[in-house]
Amino acid sequence: MLNAISLRPESLEDRNMLSADPLSVGDCSSADAGDANCDGVFDSADIVQIMQSGEYEDNLVKKNRIKNEQNSSWQEGDFDGDGEFTSHDLVYALQQNQYEERTSDPVSRSPWDVNDDGVFNSTDLVGVMAAGEYEDNEAVFDNDREYKGTRNVRNSNALEGDWDGDLEFTSADIVLAMQSGEYVV
């Protein structure tokens, strides 16, 4: 989890990419700088992936004086091959390639349209359910390992169904979305 920077996935694809193992991406042998997920495009999905890796300017190679060791991989933002993910890697990627911004207008987009296709429908509901955040409370035990109930883990965002801003995806979010009148059958 990032402390200094808050990155919000911009699409269902970005969110799905976050849940994937960053090292199980496509073949990166011919990827351009910046294309961390090796999908042929340098875009927000790549930025989200490299920032989620937690490798940004951690300086482990320099701090530990490790020679010839790669602390950060391509998928973790090391685009210049020096073993570290630093601001130089971001500048290098931006100089070498065209960053492709999203084409949708987030201001006119419905907050319930999680797949960004311009319509709030069953596809969006399936998408948020697939995220696995719906009422995902965790069990609470006392020191004697006796079950005491559940608690909210407060780990959801709008692309995962939290439409009322409480960081949880619950039936209240679905009711709120349906009351908007924007659902298309």
Listing DSSP states for 128-156 in one string gives: HHHTT-BT--EEEE-TT--EEEEE-----
Average pLDDT over residues 138-165: 82
Number of alpha helices (DSSP H) and beta strands (DSSP E) in the chain: 6, 2
What phi and psi values does residue 31 have, to the nearest 5 degrees?
-75, 150
Lowest pLDDT segment from 61-65, 82-86, 88-92: 61-65
Given pLDDT bands bounded at 50, 70 and 90, which one contains residue 63?
low
pLDDT value at residue 69: 59
Average pLDDT over residues 175-182: 89
Helices in 34-150 by DSSP H: which ranges?
44-52, 60-63, 87-96, 122-130
Report how far residue 38's alpha carbon sits from residue 88's, in angstroms, rounded to the nearest whole number. Answer: 20
| Contacts (Cβ under 8 Å, ≥6 apart) of 20 | none
pLDDT value at residue 6: 34
Average pLDDT over residues 155-163: 85
HSE-CB at 161 with a 13 A cutoff on CA atoms is 25
Report how far residue 74's alpha carbon sits from residue 28's, in angstroms, rounded to the nearest whole number. Answer: 8
Lowest pLDDT segment from 77-91, 100-114, 129-143, 164-178: 100-114
Q: Which tokens belong to 153?
A: 């883990």
Q: What is the pTM of this model?
A: 0.41
